[in-house]
C-alpha cells in the first residue's frame, strides 16, 4: 500500500483553510491502512477537538477525488447513527477535504477473533436493516458493469469456471432485489471496533440492494486474514440465503477479482492488485463448494 501523505505535506494554503475551520492543529495521527493516495488522519486542535480529516488532490488521483465527493453526498444522506457524522466538506482548488467525526477504535483482523466476527456481522445486519437513502445507486445498476470478470479474462482457466462465466448474468436477478443499505466496500481497514460496538467507515461506494449483499464481497478478505472459511461463515450468518441466489454473486466476485488483478497497478495505489489476487483464492474456493453442492 502506498504511504499516505502526512498533514505536514499538504499544501500550506490547504492546511490554512482547514485550520481556519478547526483552529490550530497540534497533532495529526495518520491512518496506516487502506488504499488511498490521500490524507486520512485524526487531528487534535488547540481547542481540544478531535476530527478525522480526509483530503485528496484531483491532480494526484482524479478517481479518489470523485470518491471523496461521492462519500460526502452519501454521508449527508445516511440515517443518523449508521456512520460517523460528516461535519463539513471543503473544496480548495483541486483539493477536496472532508471533516468527519473521529471514532476511537481499532481495526479487526490482526488476528480475527470469533467475538470480533460476531460483532461485525451484527453491525452489517443493523446497517442493512435501514432502507437505502434516496439517490443511492441500485445494485441492478452497479453489478452488471462489475461482475463481468470471467467474460473479460483471456488466459485459460479451469474447465469448471466456465459454469461461473455462464452465471454472470444471473447475479443481478438474485442480489439486486431489496432496498437495504449496502456499504459495498467492507474490509477490515474500513471497520472500527469500539468500546460500544462496530463502526463502518469510508462510504463512497454505498448502494441499494439485498440485505445480505455485503457479506459475499467481505468474507473472502476475512478468510485471507485468517478469520475462517468464507463458505462456512456465510452459512453461519445467513443460512436463509440459498446457494442458487448466492453462487452468481460469489462466482462473479471471484471473476472480477481475477480480472482486476491482471490489470496494471493504478497510479498511487501500490499493492491493490496483489490484494485483489489474494482475495480471489478464497472467493474461488467458495464458488467451487457452492457449485459442488
Residues 175-182 have a mean pLDDT of 87
Q: Does pTM surpass 0.85? A: yes
Neighbour-count burial of 111, counting CB atoms closer than 10 A to its CB (0-12 exposed, 13-18 middle, 19+ buried): exposed
- Pairing mode of beta strands 191-193, 86-92: unpaired
**Considering only CA atoms, which of 16, 26, 17, 18 is closest in space to residue 47?**
26
Q: What is the pLDDT of residue 32?
A: 62
pLDDT at 271: 85
> What does the pLDDT read at residue 154?
79
Show contacts of 22-29: CB within 8 Å, 24+ apart: 22/47, 22/49, 22/51, 22/99, 23/47, 23/49, 28/53
Question: In the prediction, which pLDDT does 176 show?
Answer: 72
**Residue 276, Cβ neighbours under 10 Å: how many?**
18
Three cell numbers at 135? 439517490
- Whether residue 175 is predicted with pLDDT greater than 80 in this model: the reply is no
Euclidean distance between CA atoms 228 and 226, whole angstroms: 6
The C-alpha atoms of residue 238 and residue 216 are separated, in whole angstroms, by 11
CA torsion through residues 113, 117, 119, 120, sign = positive
* Backbone dihedral angles phi then psi of residue 9, each to the nearest 5 degrees: -90, -10
Q: Would the pLDDT of 15 be above 60?
A: yes
Which tens digits make up the pLDDT trace of 106-165? Answer: 999 889 999 999 999 999 999 999 999 999 999 999 999 899 999 999 776 778 999 999
Task: Give the model confidence (pLDDT) of 185-205 as tens digits.
Answer: 999 999 999 999 999 999 999
Determine the pLDDT at residue 36.
74
Beta-strand ranges (E) seen in the chain are 25-30, 39-45, 50-57, 86-92, 95-101, 137-138, 180-182, 191-193, 198-200, 207-209
Q: Does the structure show a pLDDT above 50 at 1?
A: no
Q: State the DSSP string of 147-206.
A: S-HHHH--S---TTHHHHHHTGGGHHHHHS-S-EEE-----GGGEEE-SS-EEE---TT-
Question: Does the pLDDT at position 206 exceed 90?
Answer: yes
Summarize pLDDT for 229-249 with one digit per residue, the tens. Answer: 999 999 999 999 999 999 999
pLDDT band at 54 (very low <50, low <70, confident <90, very high): very high
Expressed in percent and rounded to 5, the helix, strand and coil fractions of the chain are 45, 15, 35
List of domains in the chain: 7-101 (3.30.200.20), 114-292 (3.90.1200.10)
- Which percentage of the chain shows pLDDT scores above 70? 97
Confidence at 288, pLDDT banded by 50, 70, 90: very high
More confident residue, 1 or 252: 252
Q: Is the pLDDT of residue 91 over 90?
A: yes
Amino acid at each position: 500500500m502506498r504511504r499516505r501523505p502526512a498533514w505536514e505535506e499538504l499544501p500550506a494554503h490547504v492546511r490554512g483553510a482547514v485550520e481556519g475551520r478547526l483552529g490550530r492543529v497540534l497533532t495529526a495521527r495518520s491512518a496506516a491502512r487502506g488504499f488511498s493516495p490521500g490524507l486520512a488522519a485524526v487531528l487534535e486542535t488547540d481547542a481540544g477537538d478531535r476530527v478525522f480529516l480526509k483530503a485528496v488532490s484531483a491532480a494526484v488521483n482524479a478517481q479518489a477525488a470523485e470518491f471523496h465527493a461521492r462519500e460526502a453526498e452519501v454521508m449527508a444522506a445516511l440515517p443518523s447513527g449508521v456512520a460517523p457524522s460528516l461535519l463539513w466538506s471543503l473544496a480548495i482548488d483541486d483539493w477536496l477535504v472532508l471533516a468527519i467525526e473521529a471514532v476511537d477504535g481499532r481495526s479487526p483482523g490482526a488476528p480475527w477473533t470469533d467475538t470480533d466476527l460476531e460483532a461485525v456481522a451484527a453491525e452489517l445486519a443493523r446497517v442493512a436493516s435501514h432502507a437505502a437513502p434516496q439517490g443511492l445507486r441500485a445494485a441492478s445498476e452497479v453489478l452488471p458493469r462489475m461482475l463481468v470478470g470471467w467474460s473479460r479474462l483471456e488466459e485459460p482457466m479451469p474447465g469448471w469456471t466456465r459454469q461461473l462465466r455462464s452465471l454472470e448474468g444471473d447475479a443481478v436477478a438474485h442480489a439486486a432485489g431489496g432496498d437495504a443499505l449496502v456499504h459495498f466496500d467492507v474490509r477490515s481497514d474500513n471497520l472500527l471496533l469500539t468500546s460500544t460496538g462496530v463502526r463502518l467507515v469510508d462510504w463512497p461506494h454505498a448502494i441499494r440492494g439485498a440485505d445480505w449483499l455485503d457479506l459475499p464481497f467481505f468474507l473472502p478478505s476475512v478468510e485471507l486474514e485468517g478469520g475462517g472459511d468464507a463458505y462456512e461463515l456465510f452459512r453461519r450468518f445467513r443460512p436463509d440465503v440459498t446457494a442458487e441466489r448466492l453462487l452468481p454473486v460469489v462466482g462473479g466476485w471471484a471473476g472480477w477479482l481475477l480480472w482486476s488483478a491482471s490489470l496494471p497497478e493504478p497510479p498511487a495505489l501500490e499493492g491493490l492488485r496483489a490484494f485483489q489476487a489474494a482475495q480471489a483464492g478464497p472467493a474461488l474456493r467458495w464458488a467451487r463448494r457452492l457449485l459442488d453442492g
